[in-house]
Structure 1
């Protein structure tokens, strides 16, 4: 059992002032050691002070999380992969900060691999933790439809007069030189910008205001933008973890709790690339390779099963981010308005099953039209998976695909339909 010392204001019976007093130890300690700097807990502390009702909303999130975690896996309400539409706001002052669309796509790819446990470095997880390394069931796709229903790339480039931003959320406000968010109920907003003071990023936990909901990361933390210990895209993985209700693994207190049962209690944050085992707090070794620690990008490569359950709770019955499951942001306008006249199959008639699939994915096009459709499978980076072959009779062989989320592109020459499926 983890220590109850770090209980947050969201735990019943604790005030925001008590939260601030307990967590201050970790803030002071983390700033004393050079390395990764995440301002998420500083932001939470400020939000708690400014909005006394936030503690109550976060306590409700925790109550729903506990109920979800106590439900058997087979009876949980989240079925199949959770696909989250993402809008990336690139807010730049000078040209070097204006990351390219290809670099944004590379960041989405890192997120998808990290959250699906398909990252190549997952093989480096110590044997003691290998059974706990988890596919979180969560994937990300750049939005294909904006809030007005118009097609979009899911990427906004906006030049600003502001040289650098802090953790005060100005980057999320166009009047303050930033970019206004898209509706938090339908999109994950990610702001990419220049951050001051050595800050790598920060996020807002579930329960906060919709107008500031999302994730902020330093532009040079995206893969392919720069070099260094924090340049492989894991800053976004860490911050999205916070956005999905994960705490720092050390609980922001000496031998604190991150509210997850299968992550070892550890004394404080780790930096660099510590060797395993680094024993603290009577554990058998810190899980320093967890994405929610402070290690270098090249030395973090897993979420735990308990963390995955905690994140998925947000999309279960009554979950605070469940509205994203019904977002139209991941669908194109053409998909939403496929013609039904003249014998052309409608989107409602096109179904992929089973989903998730292991051996064969069935495509439910009308039987008489099956041979007239071309069906191709792509990964989320747009690379065609040629080993997934369509037999012209409504079946796609997917056994040779690695585990993960894919997109099926179906066309009959008159229309093109895209749908996603998960390979297990």
Structure 2
């Protein structure tokens, strides 16, 4: 187990990253833009080094965040106070040069679902965690929902689409500015910005740690890394899981140094990154008998071979939402709540029976409703085990636990919400 570093350790760890940031800043030649992804390549530490070089005050901001994290980790009462689930509104910026890069909504929704499963330890492959690490695997109590309200207070799908003349982007953050061929960030105190675009240089993604500039805050992922994408071995959505981990202040599990420190106490020290799908146990840095925790989301393995966060990582992430935490403002964001103004101009719908046990009938007058219908729980989380049949006008709610839910009806012009009770 690793010893904790204190506040100023963050600066020295950042500077231990390879000095290749400037090489990543240039646009890649057209030939390289078309290369397939050969292995996981995350530019987060390179970006951090470049930011520290251009913004001397950032090191102190990160040191302050690290100090607040240590206080939180040492306070059991504070940790218990964050047991409630944190809901983070997400805006997805799809920046595309070709139709293939214009990621469809179904894959974006699948990406959000993967994030929620991975951060809640409800992913199906969580059962593959070796017995030696099973006790450390954790639900982080952090969840994500596509934004329903934009910064101006208007209803939104949570997806911004921008056509660009740029064939591929690098880690220079151009994708985060409309003026540079990308898409401007939404306010970071209300949203997680997730950019999907074509990345050159074999990059799968990168993120900005807490403490960086507001205009560039968020996560960038290769468009084909989403679930069902074409990035072979990296198309189950775990690139976003890895990069959002960085956005929530997690380091690479090997500490970006030989037998380095990731500032988390329950992750074994390991020599360096792991690629592909190693065989358990893989012992390095005298970390036997269990060896490397290569199935951790913060390693570099294939998507199908990473499937856990630890309790310590969850605590480190949740520190950001405690009093004085760098991302605590997200707790009061209304970005995940559809605006009530949409109700005033919405058509009149009837919903019956209410309460319901098996089926809800949705009608506009006497006819069924041809619209997009979604169901949300009281936390604003969209439920995927509910289906609406437009032909019959029926919503099957048999799979829902008893409780209060919200039905959102989108006919393309109006967003209407109705509450119902499942008995």
TM-score scaled by length of structure 1: 0.78
Q: Is the contact between residue 376 and residue 382 of structure 2 (CA under 8 Å) also seen in structure 1?
A: no
From 293, 297, 301, the counterpart of 1:291: 297
Q: Decide whether aligned partners of structure 1 residues 38 and 171 sit closer, same or farther in structure 2, where only a CA change above 3 A counts.
A: same
- Residue 386 of structure 1 corresponds to 398
- Residue 218 of structure 1 corresponds to 222
Deviations 1:87-135 (A, max 9, x none): 0000000111101011100000000000000000000000000011100
From 76, 90, 94, the counterpart of 2:94: 90
1:91-110 equivalent positions in 2, closer than 5 A: 91-110=95-114
Q: Is the contact between residue 19 and residue 46 of structure 2 (CA under 8 Å) also seen in structure 1?
A: no
Deviations 1:51-80 (A, max 9, x none): 000000000100111111111157643241
- Residue 178 of structure 2 corresponds to 174
1:326 equivalenced with 2:338 (yes/no): no
Match of 2:92, SS state, is strand
Aligned length: 355
Q: Residue 35 of structure 1: CA displacement?
A: 1.6
Deviations 1:390-419 (A, max 9, x none): 4xxxxx3xxxxxxxxxx82169xxx83569
Q: Decide whether aligned partners of structure 1 residues 128 and 23 sit closer, same or farther in structure 2, where only a CA change above 3 A counts.
A: same
Q: Decide whether aligned partners of structure 1 residues 75 and 282 sit closer, same or farther in structure 2, where only a CA change above 3 A counts.
A: closer
5+ long unaligned stretches in structure 1: 28-32, 339-375, 391-395, 397-406, 420-424
1:240-389 equivalent positions in 2, closer than 5 A: 240-284=244-288, 285-334=291-340, 380-384=382-386, 386-388=398-400
5+ long unaligned stretches in structure 2: 22-36, 345-374, 387-396, 409-415
TM-score scaled by length of structure 2: 0.78
- Residue 12 of structure 1 corresponds to 8
1:203 equivalenced with 2:207 (yes/no): yes
From 3, 23, 27, the counterpart of 2:17: 23
Cα distance in 1, alignment partners of residues 243 and 401 from structure 2 = 37
From 77, 81, 85, the counterpart of 1:81: 85
Q: Decide whether aligned partners of structure 1 residues 75 and 130 sit closer, same or farther in structure 2, where only a CA change above 3 A counts.
A: closer
CA RMSD of aligned residues (A): 2.7
Cα distance in 2, alignment partners of residues 94 and 410 from structure 1 = 35
Deviations 1:206-260 (A, max 9, x none): 0111110000000000011225110100000000000000000000000000000
